[in-house]
Amino acid sequence: MLRKVIKKTSSENSANGEEQQYLDLIRDILEEGKMECGRNGNTKCVFGAAMHFSLENATIPILTTKRVAWKTCLKELLWFIKGDTNNEHLQLQNVTIWNDNASREFLDSRGLTQLRENDLGPVYGHQWRHFNAKYTNCDDNYEGKGVDQLEYIIK
């Protein structure tokens, strides 16, 4: 079943309109969400919900209703932009958010036995920078292979 779009609230024009949409979504998940077993365990979720934010004035909302580890987010984003898929490069920066997905146990459970531990396979960075390039391992050079979607968008 498709979920509702989080409706614009009367406070949307205020400084907390974005946060209110987030809080409404969290309430919806708690009240109406269903438990799903995913790659990272059990999650209570709703599908098809959406939030809408104006990007006027060159601003992107950072939610203040929860703690945001912005340094970790930035390090991960830069890792994606490089097209990297080697979790060791994140670990060297004390970023551990991909550790569970890079463990031998997890890789084997997904049939990714050809990948060494900490090789995440063709995750986001690879898709952004080398879409459709045949993935072999995180140590190979993919320069000039596949479609560089990030470069395409920038141009």
Query: How high is the mean pLDDT in each 10-residue block of the chain (155 residues)?
Result: 47 62 91 85 88 78 74 95 97 96 95 96 96 97 96 94
Alpha carbons within 13 A on the beta-carbon side of 77: 6
pLDDT of residue 51: 86
Could you give the CA distance from residue 37 to residue 43 in angstroms, rounded to a whole number?
Answer: 6
Q: Are 84 and 138 in contact (CB under 8 A)?
A: yes
pTM: 0.67
pLDDT of residue 10: 41
Instruction: Specify which residues 131 forms β-bridges with.
Output: 147
pLDDT of residue 153: 93
pLDDT of residue 44: 92
Domain ranges within the chain, ordered by starting residue: 1-67, 70-154
Could you give the CA distance from residue 84 to residue 129 in angstroms, rounded to a whole number?
Answer: 9
Type and span of the H or E element at 127: helix 124-130
pLDDT of residue 13: 47
